[in-house]
Structure 1
């Protein structure tokens, strides 16, 4: 059994500061609105000690993360992904539940050949230049889509290249239609559509090497644009609401914060202290170490904190560098790096795998906020393959030592026979000592705890780890994240403990298992594993459409990586967050949603779902409680109604799209009359909006001969029976406008018999439902 883990070098949070008081003024006498506004602003200044904010800012605190490049061809760090995918658009994206939804392409279809895909683009997308965000002179068209896909296809060095490997050709059909033809049916098409960013052709077409170079300012068409006052290395990173974003008109998607700020902290303790004191007005903090999450978030006076642990896709990885002399000599980036060839030995790798107590890492480093891992596809992902218990490497450093002894590592570095405690073990003559440089980044304090234990367990097996200077005390290096990134790019290490961050819906091939293919060298591979059989399986997995057959392939790939043991996966860590809606600590954003049920809502999910979900405390959006379907006859007016309310009792406008190609109408009332000219089924859309926020809903209109619109309830009027023949069935409908409408269908059987059928239909008056305050969308 492993010894208890040493305490991590971690700064504890300081005592939370005093909350700034914020009170409400209650007016007993109705005064002019402008006077109330002045009083409220004055009160805020006096009570909080600073002016009332004029910008609604969502402020996100983080520690242990940084960004280096916002070029989508070379980005690799988590924070880079967050920024890039909020600024650039893709053909498709994912919502908070990770369902694939339209982005630049609002619709698409595949031909019967299952390889020809046609994408229909929105016509109101524009590239937004931070220097002039109101400018709409550069519309996004099919030319930009074709250019972007071609660019990442011809440049193998792009990290996006693996997503387009199955494209045979693509072409522009017209300004807003693109056709993509794949070489075979492509199982990972969703992954491609949501991964490949659409670059502005006018800025990138003259860049000869888009891997090494990029335009000086990041320009995209997504929901946010990049504020050039940002600092990628030390923060803040500032993203502002894009005034040209097409999502509002196209999908009823409107970013609610005016800006989103990522604020960097030097330690998790400092971040937690700021969050609980309100000193930086933080609304969210993430990348929280387990000890801080469990015991370091004591709410400030009156503050309410909601802690959120999400099984996202964090995969801890112990990598044993597999680069060969041939690979190192092939790429100039690797010329200055070094690594131990002894890790290419299967016995050494197996011994390392047998010296990792995964359960103890979960218990002591992550304090239970993780689970034991086995394969590269995380357990939260449905494509995860679980290694059978009988086939897993046992934790047994003593057995690992014996395995090494039997393979010739039975001596010390002087050439003397090894004892039961000799470390490092060596071969005869003191050759090939098992001594390896071991690094881990400073992005997660848990890494240091795990690394300290790993060095102890490896020592028990006869394997010595050292820092970059060769010192066995403590036997590992905690290195800055940017330094680790440089180490990776140069393949300049022997072992490391780091991570990959995937998601519950990452495609098992293009998103996850691709990082172990030979083609991923030198771009995304971090073990330099190269196996022709694995590569062949990977290629098969891309074009195997049948889910069961594809799963058999990806299961085999995961098992191959486990057995090779160059990629040792110790744990799947939960992603830890905290939010507050308490004004005076943060802005007071509400409606955070259920991040367990909808993990795409987390602030580092690479999509804008959270910014679209939350709303400010002072102006919740309207709510729609019902939007009933309608049935009518062609050529006859029918009434369409929606029941909606505003939590602040604001005036609402209603915009109606009848789905039949007629002009969109806007009314100040919650019902509208419309005549559908021809029979059919139509999708009717309504957009209910207060002064700021829209809320949208859809219903169906079934238009057919003999269809009848809902009749109003009137108990005082005389009743008239309406007789409507149905030409298709020969039935006769008697419609009586009672509160409970009874439809009597009369079938003539022969010439004398009559059969009756009753359908009880509840009749409700539209638009007068009970108003609920503070209702939230699901």
Structure 2
């Protein structure tokens, strides 16, 4: 699953915990989720009064390949099915827009020193929401629901989540109380973070009565996530509608609220049709996904578009696959789901598979099918993933159809159908006109580039002596719909195909990616039916290897095995292409949205990331969210009033409410002032939080108060910062931004101030007479657009047990004045000289792909995080290739 350039977004408001200066319980590090508002009444106070005139806001995403075949998470396969699942259902933990680990249903989680005993503490205010009656709160989420969900997937071998429960036992998953779950694994388990972030939490009161969970339609999905599935307004299979969950715990627990009341994924028949609608504003599209390469380059404007269109190319884990079916007769006979299918047993011959691999020109496919918007592939673990193993160029299969033919001739394939010696014929036969190199070749109709690739691969294979056919034996290939391909997949009824997997840049290399090549995956997820006991043993070892260097050695070996076997012949890693518009074209441009972030960097913000992060971050143009520009840490002494200050502004100039949590268990304080004082009774380190709200939206910040024991010593100066931007929350290039520091010092010491504006420029100030508050102001104009991290450092140059030099950070957004822009000119069409039929060219340039559904293994995210127990470190860099 993304993203990131979240700009002004700060850490969530966290649940209150007091952390002493000594004897901190290291093994129970939590996400310190300081829920500033934990009651419904408190939440209303923090959010402020909802204006009666607040409109019902819809965010619409265009999707030219949309398809939803099931609402049952246990058997989902398409991208859209994953989107629905992880918007509707909660998981114990999840990831933010930058794929950093964060709390979800479990606000706190810890692992014991044995590295096997995990404890998850659930938020107390989570409820299951029934789309038929969204306001009903009669079914709270409890530890029993979590235990049931994990045991369900442990028990159901056909569930796509079953592989995540390898190290679990039925007895090892228990509820300690209504809001505490303990999971004891068989051995230290490197996949726990992935498992906890991928297994949806189901309502036990619904699913416990289901006799066959993997065949359950789940037509009315009931979950506790940020959104609920709007059954009444969804046209199943052509669009789907998600509504803001009125019971979502994330508003109070993590300061996360879906800004759209409703999110619509609208299906289109082609990328070109979608883009035309997007640019005209006819249907109110706010964002589009799955854009075709030619459309991205030619039909979408360049940056600085005067109409407010932004576009992104993201390396989001798309892996195209030219697959070779290697199912054995024994595996087919032992599994009833495969008995109706057939495959050519000659593909079990390594020489044949190697010849296939030598007949795919990956360089050409990237250049012409993707128009350069991708890169050549080797491993099933995408190149954007840090666990990717890069096959040394000298050891890759080289494109050489002539050499492939010679190799086949040497292996006995050098005759024609009549048994005559004919080493140059196609298809090649063995002696007696036997064993023809003739294979059915299927292509999913989800993407025009797939058909372009298939057309070229067919011709390259013919040069090697291999003939591809459609399902009836006619030369060429057969194009199928997504649903037809799913049927072919689950019956193993093909010889060769082109399709794709989508992983994330931070998917777990074993559980999320390499698992599809294990013997245990044959049936639920495997699509080439590879089975190798050595590979399976390495996979199992990778799940219990915690040392990243040792684990990398294992996963590198597994990737090399898959490459060398030549059943997964991967042509390219494709960039995922998106666009969004700031406002909507037409008569009411302020009816739309803004504040998208940078999807090229923040993959977890993309609309198809499966995560609801984008809904938390986008802002309606008619009422943008407040901006916290500064919320510095506090250093003071106990028994004396400490000043706590948050600098914030509202884009529309609305008045703001500030709710402070002091982290010491004292009552929260709500005020209209951004500066308050608080006296800490005891020394210690306290997590502090602020929730800033206009009439509609909350935003939150976090900091730390370090409180020292009282004594006879010089106290540091105290200051508050206000950043004033010409347009409330931003400035244009060349406009002055005013930084105002209000400072005083208990002893009246002179204060020295250094202003660093984040663009390389800085200045200094000096102020005296600080027994009373002094106001110091400087102005600075930025010469380029961007988000700048300014820092203001002040000191009285004294010493003591509390630091006397303090730094206040501030975030400044600078934009380019509207206007300008242009459209890039795509490269001259190279297809004509490359031998690609005109029909394929037109298919690419017009984006004439029908419904798309990406098969998707859920992109389970980066195993790194802040305050929860530290996940395994990222893999070490791969050794240099020889």
TM-score by length of 1: 0.85
SS of 1:211's partner is helix
Out of 394, 400, 405, the position equivalent to 2:398 is 394
Report deviation, 1:642.
Answer: 1.3
Which residue does the alignment assign to 1:592? 596
Task: Show the counterpart of 2:616.
Answer: 612
Partner of 2:194, secondary structure, is helix
Corresponding residue of 1:312: 316
The separation in 1 between residues aligned to 2:742 and 2:210, in whole angstroms, is 75
Are 2:219 and 1:181 equivalent residues in the alignment? no
Gap change, CA 1:712 and 1:278, over 3 Å in 2: closer
Residue 166 (structure 1) shift: 1.2
Q: Deviations over 1:235-261 (max 9, x none)?
A: 221001111111111111111111111
User: Matched residue of 1:428: which SS?
Assistant: coil
Q: Using the alignment, how far apart are the partners of 1:594 and 1:521 within structure 2?
A: 38
175-184 or 61-70, larger mean C-alpha shift: 61-70
Measured in 1, the distance between the counterparts of 2:613 and 2:395 equals 40
Would you say 1:664 and 2:668 are equivalent positions? yes
C-alpha contact (below 8 Å) 1:310/1:595 kept by paired residues: yes
- Structure 2: where are the runs of 5+ without partners? 1-50, 721-740, 750-768, 775-793, 817-882
Tell me the residue number matched to 2:471.
468
| 1:207–1:214 CA contact under 8 A, matched in 2 | no
* Alignment CA distance shift 1:301-1:315 (3 Å): closer
- 8 A Cα contact 2:355 2:405, kept in partner: yes
Distance (Å, rounded) in 2 between the aligned partners of 1:634 and 1:602: 46
Q: Which runs of 5+ in 1 are unaligned?
A: 1-36, 42-52, 723-734, 747-756
1:422-433 alignment runs, 5 A limit: 422-433=425-436
Aligned to 2:644: 640
Structure 2 CA distance, aligned partners of 1:477 and 1:448? 10
Q: Secondary structure at the match of 1:593?
A: coil
TM-superposed CA distance for 1:371, in Å, is 0.4
Shift of 1:743: 6.3
Q: Which residue pairs with 1:479 in the alignment?
A: 480
Counterpart in 2 of 1:262? 265
SS in 2 for 1:385: coil
1:381, 1:506 within 8 Å by CA — same for their partners in 2? yes
Q: Distance in 1 between matches of 2:745 and 2:645?
A: 25
**Partners of 2:67 and 2:813 in 1: how far apart?**
43
SS in 1 for 2:432: helix
CA contact (8 A) 1:236 1:264 kept: yes
* 1:697 partnered with 2:697: no
Change (3 A) 1:199 1:435: same
Q: Name the counterpart of 1:377.
A: 381
The answer to whether 1:291 aligns with 2:294 is yes
C-alpha displacement of 1:296: 2.5
Equivalent residue of 1:190, what SS?
Answer: helix
1:430 alignment partner, SS class:
coil
Q: 1:604: how far off?
A: 0.7
CA contact (8 A) 2:685 2:707 kept: yes
Are 2:120 and 2:182, in contact at CA under 8 Å, matched by a contact in 1? Answer: yes
d(CA) in 2 for partners of 1:439, 1:510: 28
1:550 matched residue in structure 2? 551
Q: Aligned equivalents of 1:137 and 1:552: distance in 2?
A: 50
Which shows bigger deviation, 678-687 or 228-237? Answer: 228-237
For 1:504, the equivalent position in structure 2 comes to: 505
Q: Distance in 1 between matches of 2:579 and 2:807?
A: 46
Secondary structure of residue in 2 paired with 1:291: helix
Residues 744, 383 of structure 1: alpha-carbon distance in 2 compared, 3 angstrom cutoff? closer
SS at match of 2:74: coil
Counterparts of 1:643 and 1:716, CA distance in 2: 14
In structure 1, C-alpha distance between the alignment counterparts of 2:389 and 2:508, rounded to whole Å:
13
The CA deviation string for residues 626-670 of structure 1, in whole angstroms up to 9 with x for no partner, is: 122223333333332211111111111111111112222212222
- Say if 2:718 and 2:745, in contact at 8 Å, map to a contact too: no
TM-aligned CA distance change 1:535 to 1:210, over 3 Å? same
Which residue of structure 2 lines up, in the alignment, with residue 111 of structure 1? 112
Deviation at 1:598, TM superposition (A): 1.2
- Judge conservation of contact 2:719–2:744 (CA < 8 Å) in 1: no
Match of 1:143 in 2: 144
Contact 1:647 1:774 in 2 (8 A): no
Aligned to 1:96: 97
Partner Cα separation in structure 2 for residue 675 and residue 703 of structure 1: 10
Structure 1 CA distance, aligned partners of 2:496 and 2:235? 28
Q: How does 1:48-63 map to 2 (within 5 A)?
A: 54-63=55-64
Other structure's SS at 1:167 match? coil
Question: 2: distance between equivalents of 1:444 and 1:695?
Answer: 40
Number of the residue aligned with 1:407: 411
For residues 274-298 of structure 1, the C-alpha deviation after alignment (integer angstroms, 9 at most, x for no partner) is 1121111111111111111111336
Runs of 4+ in 1 over 4 A off after TM superposition: 230-233, 298-302, 707-722, 738-741, 743-746, 757-764, 769-775
Measured after TM superposition, the shift of residue 672 of structure 1 is 2.6
**Closer/same/farther in 2, CA of residues 685 and 339 from structure 1, 3 Å limit:** same
Is 1:457 aligned to 2:460, yes or no? yes
Structure number with greater Rg is 1
Structure 2: distance between partners of 1:461 and 1:148: 51
**C-alpha separation in 2, matches of 1:771 and 1:602:** 24
More deviation, 615-624/527-536: 615-624
Where 1:106 maps in the other structure, the secondary structure is strand
**Alignment partner of 1:217 out of 217, 220, 227:** 220
Q: CA deviation at 1:704?
A: 2.2
Contact 1:71 1:214 survives alignment (8 Å)? yes
Query: In structure 2, what is the Cα distance between the partners aligned to 1:330 and 1:345?
Result: 21
**Does residue 72 of structure 2 align to residue 68 of structure 1?**
no
Matched, 1:577 2:581: no
User: Residues 187 and 301 (structure 1 numbering): CA distance in 2 closer, same or farther, change over 3 Å?
Assistant: closer
Report 1:267-346 matches (<5 A): 267-297=270-300, 303-346=307-350
Give per-residue Cα distances to partners, 1:513-551, cap 9 Å, x unaligned. Answer: 000000001000000000000000000000111111000
How far off its partner does 1:409 sit? 1.2
Q: Which stretch of structure 1 is more off in the superposition, 241-250 or 205-214?
A: 205-214
Does the 8 Å contact 2:743/2:770 carry over to 1? no
From the superposition, tell whether residues 416 and 106 of structure 1 become closer, same or farther in structure 2 (CA, over 3 Å).
Answer: same
Q: Deviations over 1:10-33 (max 9, x none)?
A: xxxxxxxxxxxxxxxxxxxxxxxx
Shift of the alpha carbon at 1:597?
A: 2.1
CA distance in structure 2 between the partners assigned to 1:293 and 1:686 by the alignment = 41
Task: Measure how far apart 1:489 and its partner are.
Answer: 1.1
**1:430-460 deviation digits (Å, cap 9, x = unpaired):** 1111111111111111001000000000011
Tell me the CA shift for residue 609 of structure 1. 1.4
**Other-structure match for 1:252:** 255
2: CA distance, partners of 1:710 / 1:523: 64
Matched residues in 2 for 1:716 and 1:519: separation? 66
In structure 1, the residue matched to 2:678 is: 674
**2-structure distance, mates of 1:118, 1:293:** 47
Q: Conserved in 2, the CA contact under 8 Å of 1:743 and 1:758?
A: no
- 3-state secondary structure, aligned to 2:381: coil
Offset at 1:331? Answer: 1.8
Q: Deviations over 1:666-720 (max 9, x none)?
A: 1222223323222210001100000111111111112221275855899999986
Q: Give yes or no for contact 1:436–1:464 (8 Å, CA) kept in 2.
A: yes
Distance 2:539 2:744 in 1: 73
Q: Which has the higher contact order (CA 8 A, sep 6+)?
A: 2
Q: Which digits, 9 at most, give the CA deviation of each residue in 1:399-446, with x for residues without a partner? A: 1111111111111122222241x1111112211111111111111110
